Structure 1
Amino acid sequence: MEVLLGIQGKDFVLVASDALAITSIVAMKRNHNKTRKLNDNVLLMFSGEGGDSVQFCEFIQRNVQLNGIRRGYPLSTKAAANFTRVELAESLRSRHPYQVNLLIAGCDPDTGVPELYWMDYLASLKKLPFAVQGYGQYFCNSTMDRYYRPDMNLEEAKALMKKCINELKVRFIINFSDFVFQVVDKDGIKEIKLE
């Protein structure tokens, strides 16, 4: 019942995640952080089984940071996405496959080129201009497909994100009261508010 949203603009990626931690029909927590900062310009968003998603994403976060320390420079968004895909694919062939769906958003600090990657629990990886994970796919993919433009500025992306959130509030049976919004650009990762 989780929702992750991402929109790539001309020099940023705007992402949103619901703040609910749900088990079966019970809302366990209403301020759950579903993001992990991999480095200053790469953000990992996750949904899935509670233990699997947190354990896997913390493993990825620590290993990407360790890789950056060993090499002397941070991994790019593409490198972090491919590292994550390899680790998830290897876990599928083990005794404990992780049930986790991901969005990886980043922006090159030198060139300002944004990237957004979609990955499912089967380790399928795809670079996309906009992406949705969870039940929000049924409502938001068509809205994003209709209104998305590659040259969107931040205000236009915020307006599109609002349309998606409103569509969820009108059509989905679960009331997602709180979302966490973040922007990833060449200056780093910032949490923002949508007015």
Structure 2
Amino acid sequence: MECVFGLVGDGFAVVVADTSAVHSILVHKSNEDKIMVLDSHKLIAASGEPGDRVQFTEYIQKNVALYQFRNGIPLTTAAAANFTRGELATALRKNPYSVNILLAGYDKETGPALYYIDYIATLHKVDKGAFGYGSYFSLSTMDRHYHSRMSVEEAIDLVDKCIVEIRSRLVVAPPNFVIKIVDKDGAREYAWRETVKDSVASSA
């Protein structure tokens, strides 16, 4: 029951992911961070098979770092998205990765951007996007409340609305979510959203 979604606001992009690591009927972890910091101004949120998700996102992260090391300049967000798409397309014809990606970044010249990349190497630049069962509810909630000039406070309020909707609608809803943001000041973790039950248990 994975849930990954994101949106672009006024000068920033936000990505959100559940933190559950599950297999069949078992929950292995409830604090798995599925949003990786690619570099100082890029985030990559992924859903899919755990092995593919971890291996592929680490592969992209290391190659983005290698490019910057070799050339002295970082890839733009668009270039990183196209590189990611190219690697998925190459793997599709050999040994495909079962991974869906939202790549968010901030460039000084063009501002914030969010790219939707699915497991069959479809690439789109979007204002808002989502993967997983939670997408049914987060996309409809964002369609209702989203606008392109959202402030950070408005965006986080919308994120909370999406999380509440996912928790109330899904039969087996992930309990915890992590929120990360990227803007002119860089990519960073913004907050965690934990269930009351988990918060009480951890403090006991």
TM-score if structure 2 supplies the norm length? 0.91
Kindly report which structure 2 residues correspond to 1:23-102, keeping only aligned pairs within 5 A, or say none: 23-94=23-94, 96-102=95-101
Q: Is the 8 A contact 1:77 1:106 kept in 2?
A: yes
Deviation at 1:194, TM superposition (A): 6.7
Hey, what's the Cα distance between the residues in 2 that align with 1:180 and 1:112?
26
Deviation at 1:104, TM superposition (A): 0.1
Aligned equivalent of 1:106: 105
Tell me, yes or no, if structure 1 residue 166 matches structure 2 residue 153: no
Unaligned ranges ≥5, structure 2: 194-204
More displaced stretch, 169-178 vs 77-86? 169-178
Deviation at 1:153, TM superposition (A): 0.5
Amino acid aligned to 2:119: Y
Aligned equivalent of 1:179: 177
Amino acid aligned to 1:141: L
Q: Is the 8 A contact 1:13 1:115 kept in 2?
A: yes
Amino acid aligned to 2:112: P
Hey, what's the Cα distance between the residues in 1 that align with 2:172 and 2:153?
27
Number of aligned positions between the proteins: 193
Amino acid aligned to 2:75: L
Unaligned ranges ≥5, structure 1: none
Deviation at 1:24, TM superposition (A): 1.4
* SS of match in other structure, 1:141: helix
* SS of match in other structure, 2:143: helix
Hey, what's the Cα distance between the residues in 1 that align with 2:131 and 2:173?
17
Amino acid aligned to 1:17: A
Amino acid aligned to 1:149: H
Aligned equivalent of 2:114: 116
Tell me, yes or no, if structure 1 residue 6 matches structure 2 residue 6: yes
Hey, what's the Cα distance between the residues in 2 that align with 1:42 and 1:2?
22
Deviations 1:154-182 (A, max 9, x none): 00101111110010011011232211111
Deviations 1:98-117 (A, max 9, x none): 00000000011x24610001
RMSD: 1.3
Amino acid aligned to 2:130: V
- Aligned identity (percent) is 47
Q: Is the 8 A contact 2:114 2:127 kept in 1?
A: yes
* SS of match in other structure, 1:85: helix
Hey, what's the Cα distance between the residues in 1 that align with 2:124 and 2:173?
29
Hey, what's the Cα distance between the residues in 2 that align with 1:191 and 1:56?
21
Q: Is the 8 A contact 1:184 1:190 kept in 2?
A: yes
* SS of match in other structure, 1:193: strand
TM-score if structure 1 supplies the norm length? 0.95
Aligned equivalent of 2:123: 125
Q: Is the 8 A contact 2:178 2:192 kept in 1?
A: no
Deviation at 1:39, TM superposition (A): 1.0
* SS of match in other structure, 1:191: strand
Q: Is the 8 A contact 2:2 2:174 kept in 1?
A: no
Hey, what's the Cα distance between the residues in 1 that align with 2:86 and 2:19?
28
Deviations 1:56-103 (A, max 9, x none): 111111011101111101111100000000000000001x11000000
